[in-house]
Amino acid sequence: MALHVYGVVAAMTPLPEDLRGRQQAPLRLIVHGDLAAVVSEVDANSRARRDDLLAHARVLETLVEGSTVLPMRFGVIVETDEGVAEDILAAGESGLTSLLNSFNGLVQLTVKANHNEEVALKDLLRERPEIRSLRDQTAGRSASYQSQLKLGEAVAAGLEALASADAAMLKEELSRLAERVVLQDVSGTNQVLDAALLVKREARTSTDEGIARLSRAVPDRLRLRYVGPQPPYSFVDAELAGEPVWA
Amino acid sequence: MSVTQRAPNRYLERPAPSSLADVIDTILDKGLVIDIYVRVSLVGIEILTIDARIVIASVDTYLRFAEAVNRLDLTETETQGIPELMEDISRGGSKRKTEGALEAVKEKVADVFSRDDEEEEEEEEDYQNEDEDRSRNSGRRQAQPAKKSTSRPRRES
């Protein structure tokens, strides 16, 4: 057996009794000083199924409802308790402690936005007479291949411009609802925005209300998805990219 | 009418737990990593991240857009100025259908498997089904060659 490591919490963090890890294994804490790693036993050779991925996320999302959690990326497997205590907690002690402090009371919420293509195309035609006239020129079957291409190219560029404008608008709105906002990569047709919000746990209700208001207020071409609360995946990532925690 | 108008967004009153797709975007890609232990875990598990991309700036995509705008009802486009009215048409389709049309360019499909093939048939099938779902929904997506995602080096050591 080996240990699957879910994340790092403060040593006193209570684990909900009914919370189970991968393959329904019970969770426990391995404590070192003021820090603890959340682990469960796992067959070192077992393969990761989708349930394992979801279990990892579920454990972290449940814990973050009530405690500050630093998430491990999926796939950190350590052979022994001592390995966890020494190589993770002791080796990274100062960095982990300062990360725990900096995320104290904070959770991540993720907002994703897509375009409904059909609605977006209609908006585009309505707002851009030059594209509309290109379309009118290519309406018949006689339209040349070249003119079809020209129209399609204009539409593609128009949709991208619309997505950029919508993303900028959404980011501004979301920034009012969060301590910090990190935009994650989106790069394509109909995908508008993937934003991670860092929010105070106690401000969750007003954040929820803010997102609900926003989702009612945005143009109908936009579809929002709202996910969370999550541990600060995107922000831990940002912190680490800037400053390695342990050597 | 306004109730049905907003129906697709009603779930935004509260955030939802991560779906498998969200999980793939986050836990395989973000979070703390300790390189030596990720390597340990990779003895049994190999994680493939595939960047499936629609080539936007392609002839195929342009033609698809040209066809799509040509299909739109001109009269309606010109006479109805209120965005909400336009929505009625697209409301009919199921969520699934809508999402099928709404494909993202960069979608990570993570295929997680071990080198040990015993007892893996069932999961193999699961992932395959999912991949099929994705490609069915993806329109003209072209998958690029899969690339192995190894643990990102966080630092020089």
What residues form DSSP beta bridges with B111?
A: B48
Phi-psi region of A73 (alpha: psi -120 to 50; beta: other; left: phi over 0): beta
Q: What confidence tens digit (pLDDT) does each residue in A107-125 have?
A: 999 999 999 999 999 999 9
Closest CB from A119, A138, A184 relative to B87: A119
Mean pLDDT, range A235-239, rounded to an integer: 76
Of A80, A14, A16, A83, nearest to A42 (Cα)? A80
Does the pLDDT at position B85 exceed 60?
A: no
Structure tokens given for A101? 């402090």
User: How far apart are the C-alpha atoms of A38 and A52, rounded to whole Å?
Assistant: 15
Residue % of chain A over a pLDDT of 70: 94
User: How far apart are the C-alpha atoms of A218 and A175, rounded to whole Å?
Assistant: 15
Closest CB from A48, A123, A135 relative to B112: A48
- Listed in order, strand segments (DSSP E) in A166-235 are 180-183, 191-200, 222-230
Closest CB from B66, B106, B157 relative to A186: B106
Residue numbers in A near B149 (CB within 8 A): none
| A217 three-class SS | helix
Give the 3-state DSSP-derived string for chain B, with helices as H, strands as E and coil as C: CHHHHCHHHHHHHCCECCCHHHHHHHCCCCCECCHHHHHHHHCCCEEEEEEEECCCCCHHHHHHHHHHHHHCCHHHHHHCCCHHHHHHHHHCCCHHHHHHHCCCCCEEEEEEECCCCCCCHHHHHHHHHHHHHHHHHCCCCEECCCEECCCCCCCCC
Q: Return the pLDDT at B74.
A: 53
User: How far apart are the C-alpha atoms of B48 and B108, rounded to whole Å?
Assistant: 10
Nearest CA in chain B to A116: B102
Q: Return the pLDDT at A241.
A: 56
Structure tokens given for B87? 């929505």
User: How far apart are the C-alpha atoms of B87 and A158, rounded to whole Å?
Assistant: 20
Answer yes or no: do A56 and B43 touch at CB < 8 A: no
Q: Which residue has the higher pLDDT, B136 or A7?
A: A7
Mean pLDDT, range A201-227, rounded to an integer: 94
Close Cβ partners of B143 (under 8 Å, ≥ 6 residues apart): B50, B52, B53, B135
Q: Return the pLDDT at B57.
A: 61
Residue numbers in A near B109 (CB within 8 A): none
Answer yes or no: do B12 and A139 touch at CB < 8 A: no
∠B15-A114-A58 over CA atoms, to 5°? Answer: 30
Does the pLDDT at position B121 exceed 60?
A: no
Lowest mean pLDDT among A30-44, A85-99, B125-139: B125-139
What residues form DSSP beta bridges with A32?
A: A35
CA atoms within 13 A on the CB side of A127: 13
CA B95 to chain centroid = 14
Q: Which residue has the higher pLDDT, B15 or A178?
A: A178
User: How far apart are the C-alpha atoms of B155 and B157, rounded to whole Å?
Assistant: 6
Task: Measure Cα distances from A18 to A14, A28, A35, A63, B76 in Å.
Answer: 12, 12, 22, 12, 55
Q: Please give the model's pTM, rounded to 2 decimal places.
A: 0.72
Q: What confidence tens digit (pLDDT) does each residue in A41-73 have?
A: 998 777 777 888 899 999 999 999 999 999 998
**A230, A235, A240, A243: CA torsion to nearest 10:** -150
Tokens 């501004």 sit at which residue?
A172
Residue numbers in A near B56 (CB within 8 A): 156, 160, 188-189
Residue A115: its H or E element? strand A106-115
Q: Return the pLDDT at B30.
A: 81
Q: Return the pLDDT at B143.
A: 37
Mean pLDDT, range B112-126, rounded to an integer: 38
Does the pLDDT at position B42 exceed 70?
A: no
User: How far apart are the C-alpha atoms of B146 and A209, rounded to whole Å?
Assistant: 41
pLDDT band of A140, cuts 50, 70, 90? low
What residues form DSSP beta bridges with A72?
A: B32
User: How far apart are the C-alpha atoms of A217 and B30, rounded to whole Å?
Assistant: 31
Residue numbers in A near B64 (CB within 8 A): 152
Q: Give contacts of A 46-75 with B, CB under 8 A.
A: 46-50, 53-54, 56-58, 60-61, 70-75
Does the pLDDT at position B90 exceed 70?
A: no
